[in-house]
Amino acid sequence: MPPRSFIAYFGAGPAALPTPVIESAAAALVNYNDSGLGLAEISHRSPTANKILADTKENLNKLLDIPEDEYEILFMQGGGSGGFSAVVSNLVSVWVERRRQAILNSGVTDEDEVVKELKKMVEEDLKMDYLVTGSWSLKAMQEAKRLVGEQFVNVALDAREGNEGKFGQIPAEESWKLTKTKREGGKAAPAFVYFCDNETVDGVEFQQFPEVLKKGEGERGGDDERLVVADMSSNFLTRKIDVRNFDIIFAGAQKNVGIAGITLVIIRKSLLPPQTATPPPALLRKLHIGGLPGPIVLDYATIAKNNSLYNTLPIFNLWIAGEVIASLVKTYGDKKVSGQEEVANHKAALIYDVLDKYEQVYRVVPEKSVRSRMNVCFRVYGGDAEKEKDFLQGAEKRLLQGLKGHRSVGGIRASNYNAVPLEDVEKLVIYLEDYANGRA
């Protein structure tokens, strides 16, 4: 068996972790801090667990410059797919509650009349906007339809249209069919607008926050403004972001942060009690909105109230995420996440440069303007099955692993997550050069 340092792993997730973290985790799993117990054995309500939780939050706040007075950090379970459901059940509930309060404030107090008004609003105004740019945002949109009904989902963008039914582009913002807010001449704001910042399957990444989703003056989160939700599962902690552009960011840990079992959520506090109450479950059932109320373990208000410890949080998984985040804080200092962004961009440029150099051999799948820095998707000799098989076999001989594309699209995919060291990317670049020149 080759030693760990010989393997260059480019798998899309579960992904590589920093070797020092893995080594420390191996020891901590057996005996954490000479306590005689492993991290997977300690109580999630113990002082040790609470310190791990607090330290992880503190370092994440530092790394991303999260305004602590405006945002709460939650650690949940269910992965990105659980996040699809949580966003729908929580934010549709917020939409309903804000309208219920508006009705009450208008002087209507009779419960039956309130329910009647709400039913009318739901039927006429409730929409959830989805920007469908790849396989994961497509799944999120489909989950919204499954939970609450197709009539409430507005596909504001389907990137397959005009692209031969395939993903690989993000059309110009002026072509997006977003639900109009009151400020734009519409009747009401949508419950939210949702996008996946980086699509792992299709190699598509938003190069910056969409201009059309930026807010003007006024408090974010009001009824006349869009709530913006981003799935950052595969590019979380890889570049500087303005957290205030978002109302909810969620990310499964198993790409850039840790191991499967932890989902990080950054949520605007105005969406949580006491600023926004949770509507009574009995009311939601009267409105006949499928999927509401949602499972309590996916309820943001419940998780926030209990400091992410409503149910048994996997502390070992949290500790690994905390160690990864702490190492980024220590490594980049005042640069914060921008330091990691420089490294990520450099590694991605090395790979794309050699792919573009040999266009007769390699074809990058997505358009150049939306290429992902995290998941480099390409075909070999136009997608020739035998040649791609040969390419992968040659890579394996050089201990370059995890390069096979997603089963739904095929091809080759090199995932360039934070824990993939520069020297491994350089090994891949050498192989790409050698293969293109018949030296593989």
- Transcribe 49-72 into DSSP letters: HHHHHHHHHHHHHHHHT--TTTEE
Kindly state whether residues 312 and 345 are assigned to the same domain. no
323 belongs to a structural domain: no
User: What confidence score (pLDDT) does residue 272 get?
Assistant: 97
Kindly state whether residues 110 and 181 are assigned to the same domain. yes
Kindly state whether residues 165 and 198 are assigned to the same domain. yes
412 belongs to a structural domain: yes
3 belongs to a structural domain: no
299 belongs to a structural domain: yes
- In order along its 440 residues, the chain shows pLDDT tens digits of 788 999 999 999 999 999 999 999 999 999 999 999 999 999 999 999 999 999 999 999 999 999 999 999 999 999 999 999 999 999 999 999 999 999 999 999 999 999 999 999 999 999 999 999 999 999 999 999 999 999 999 999 999 998 999 999 999 999 999 998 887 777 778 999 999 999 999 999 999 999 999 986 444 444 447 899 999 999 999 999 999 999 999 999 999 999 999 999 999 999 999 999 999 999 999 998 988 999 999 999 999 999 999 999 999 999 999 999 999 999 999 999 999 999 999 999 999 999 999 999 999 999 999 999 999 999 999 999 999 999 999 999 999 999 999 999 999 999 999 999 999 999 999 999 999 999 87
This prediction's pTM: 0.96
27 belongs to a structural domain: no
2 belongs to a structural domain: no
Kindly state whether residues 299 and 421 are assigned to the same domain. no
Kindly state whether residues 212 and 286 are assigned to the same domain. yes
User: What confidence score (pLDDT) does residue 184 get?
Assistant: 78
User: What confidence score (pLDDT) does residue 48 get?
Assistant: 96
42 belongs to a structural domain: no
What residues contact residue 230 under an 8 Å CB cut-off, 6+ apart?
194, 195, 196, 197, 246, 248, 249, 250
Instruction: Return the half-sphere exposure (C-beta side, CA atoms, 13 A cut-off) of residue 227.
Output: 27
Say which DSSP state 363 is in. E
Instruction: Return the half-sphere exposure (C-beta side, CA atoms, 13 A cut-off) of residue 435.
Output: 28
Kindly state whether residues 384 and 262 are assigned to the same domain. no
Kindly state whether residues 183 and 217 are assigned to the same domain. yes
Last residue of a domain, one of 267, 290, 317: 317
User: What confidence score (pLDDT) does residue 220 get?
Assistant: 44
Kindly state whether residues 313 and 350 are assigned to the same domain. no
1 belongs to a structural domain: no
Kindly state whether residues 294 and 339 are assigned to the same domain. no
Kindly state whether residues 280 and 418 are assigned to the same domain. no
What would the two tokens of residue 372 be? 């992902």
User: What confidence score (pLDDT) does residue 389 get?
Assistant: 97
Last residue of a domain, one of 291, 317, 343: 317
User: What confidence score (pLDDT) does residue 4 get?
Assistant: 93
User: What confidence score (pLDDT) does residue 182 get?
Assistant: 80
User: What confidence score (pLDDT) does residue 216 get?
Assistant: 62
User: What confidence score (pLDDT) does residue 221 get?
Assistant: 43
Say which DSSP state 243 is in. G
Q: Provide the residue range defining the domain that includes 266.
A: 55-317
Kindly state whether residues 211 and 125 are assigned to the same domain. yes
Kindly state whether residues 270 and 363 are assigned to the same domain. no
What residues contact residue 358 under an 8 Å CB cut-off, 6+ apart?
432, 433, 436
What would the two tokens of residue 32 be? 């954490």
Report the CATH number at residue 378. Answer: 3.90.1150.10
Number of domains in the chain: 2
